[in-house]
Amino acid sequence: MEKKWLEAVAAASGLEALETLRVEALGKKGEISGLMKGLGALTPDERKSAGAALNQLKDSVAAAIEARKAQLGEAAIDARLQRETLDMTLPVGTGPQGRLHPISQTIDEIIAIFGEMGFKVAEGPDIEEDFYNFTALNIPPDHPARQMHDTFYLGASGSGRPTNPAALGAEESADRKFGKAATPTDLEGRKLLRTHTSPVQIRYMKSHKPPMRIIAPGRTYRCDSDMTHTPMFHQVEGLVIDEKTHMGHLKGCLTEFCRAFFGVSDLPLRFRPSFFPFTEPSAEVDIGCSRKGGELKLGNYGDWLEILGCGMVHPKVLELGGVDPARYQGFAFGMGIERIAMLKYGIPDLRTFFDGDARWLSHYGFQP
Ligand code: PHE
């Protein structure tokens, strides 16, 4: 009987067939189990020898089944390995290639140009505190400049729920903008989406010692949406502070940047007096251009286009940033990234930057 089972096990062609055999031999109703049950009817002496023989049979068949099982398992793995071989020498298929968004490309270019002038890159949070976005920049709660920034405030309770002034009643909206509804201390702790990158100036001053020379590119938000405004856009902030930094450095630095960025070596720049609460004096910078016949050309053509705001950092701002205004002074600037990207790359419509249209990206995007 042992020979019969061992031969059957050896001939089992697969794991399923082997399991069937195991049940037939050793299962509850299997042949060998049946013989075991029959032992009870024998005399004690007969039972002793027959029992030993049956146990030996049972162990031998069980061992044969285990061995065959391992063998079949290995064969299955071998077969699978055969089936799934990979030819590493086959040529790679060329799928569609990704492109860099013009905003990313422009930020990289800005970092490279200022990097050559010794600027480091700094960052600040998109969700900012009222204090850093306004108060520390010399824009106290009742300052009319707050009205110029259409601010997205986050829920006062800290729930994170955005309270969009446009969605509030006119009166409440005005209260929020002017801070009449809350005391200044309440207001300054309030969270908002930063309306410009200037709060990074304060954060950097508070955490570093002068001299400093940084740019801070990033997202900014204003509750405004039309042909030339999107609720989210990008700015790059610049901040230089040292003992003798003056307006001449500001002019030289921005002139150098604009000429390098636009690739026009004699690009004329016009520094027009302006006002920002956090700089004194303040200026806006225009670059020379021509817009004849709807075509934009950069250069000395008599027409001007505004591209950035700048000025000497207000002593109050230095003080709020923990920098001694009696010893240090410096300049700051802020530039719209979409604006200069549109000028450089001839992108006519601001809103297309954020449509997420793959055809647009394959046209204006950059090979990484
Ligand atoms: N933060 C200003 C704006 O968003 C720009 C600016 C930055 C002006 C730094 C002066 C100095 O309009």
Model pLDDT for residues 176-219, shown as the tens digit of each residue: 444 444 555 566 678 999 999 999 999 999 999 999 999 999 99
pLDDT category at 146 given cuts 50, 70, 90 is confident
Please state the rounded mean pLDDT for residues 88-110: 92
Is 16 marked as a binding-site residue? no
pLDDT above 70: residue 62 = yes
Ligand 1 site, residue 333, Cβ cutoff 6 A: yes
Please state the rounded mean pLDDT for residues 49-64: 89
Closest CA to 253 of 237, 240, 242: 240
Half-sphere exposure of 58 (CA within 13 A, CB side): 18
Ligand 1 site, residue 279, Cβ cutoff 6 A: yes
pLDDT category at 163 given cuts 50, 70, 90 is very low
Ligand 1 centre to CA of 334 (Å) is 4
Determine which of 147-151, 199-203, 256-260 has the lowest per-residue pLDDT on average. Answer: 147-151
pLDDT above 80: residue 168 = no
366: which strand partners? 100
Nearest CA owner, ligand 1 atom 9: 333
Token pair 């030993």 is found at 52
DSSP conformational letter for 179: T
The type of residue at 130 is D
Domains and CATH numbers, the chain: 1-73 (no CATH), 102-155+186-364 (3.30.930.10)
Question: Residue 311: exposed, middle, or buried by beta-carbon count in 10 A (0-12, 13-18, 19+)?
Answer: buried
What pLDDT does residue 45 have? Answer: 87
pLDDT above 80: residue 171 = no
For residues 307 and 335, is the Cβ–Cβ distance under 8 A?
A: yes
Cα–Cα dist 201/198, whole Å: 5
What pLDDT does residue 261 have? Answer: 98
What pLDDT does residue 85 have? Answer: 86
Ligand 1 centre to CA of 72 (Å) is 75
Determine which of 72-81, 124-133, 280-289 has the lowest per-residue pLDDT on average. Answer: 72-81
Phi, psi of 124 (to 5 degrees): -140, 170
Determine which of 116-120, 171-175, 318-322 has the lowest per-residue pLDDT on average. Answer: 171-175
216: which strand partners? 237
Q: Left, alpha or beta for 125 (phi > 0: left; psi -120 to 50: alpha)?
A: beta
pLDDT over 70 percentage in the chain: 91
Give the ipTM of the model, two decimals please. 0.98
What pLDDT does residue 156 have? Answer: 59
pLDDT above 50: residue 367 = yes
For residues 47 and 39, is the Cβ–Cβ distance under 8 A?
A: yes
Nearest CA owner, ligand 1 atom 10: 310
DSSP conformational letter for 323: -
**pLDDT single digits (tens) 231-256:** 999 999 999 999 999 999 999 999 99
What pLDDT does residue 298 have? Answer: 92
Closest CA to 164 of 149, 172, 153, 175: 153
What pLDDT does residue 148 have? Answer: 67
Please state the rounded mean pLDDT for residues 282-290: 95
More confident residue, 366 or 148: 366
Ligand 1 centre to CA of 280 (Å) is 12
DSSP conformational letter for 238: E
pLDDT above 60: residue 167 = no
Cα–Cα dist 227/110, whole Å: 25
Tell whether the torsion through CA atoms of 273, 276, 281 and 283 is positive or negative: negative
pLDDT over 90 percentage in the chain: 61
Mean pLDDT rounded to a whole number for the chain: 89
**pLDDT single digits (tens) 322-336:** 999 999 999 999 999
* pTM confidence score: 0.71
What pLDDT does residue 355 have? Answer: 94
Determine which of 14-23, 144-153, 201-210 has the lowest per-residue pLDDT on average. Answer: 144-153
More confident residue, 165 or 31: 31
Ligand 1 site, residue 334, Cβ cutoff 6 A: yes
Among 133, 150, 196, 240, which is best to mutate for testing ligand 1, by the most ligand atoms less than 8 A from CB? Answer: 196
pLDDT above 90: residue 279 = yes
DSSP conformational letter for 300: S
More confident residue, 348 or 254: 254
Ligand 1 centre to CA of 85 (Å) is 61
Token reading at 202: 């304060």
pLDDT above 50: residue 140 = yes
Report for 160-164, 270-274, 290-294: range of highest mean pLDDT: 270-274
Contacts of residue 43, Cβ cutoff 8 Å, sequence gap at least 6: none
Count other C-beta atoms under 10 Å from residue 124's C-beta: 19
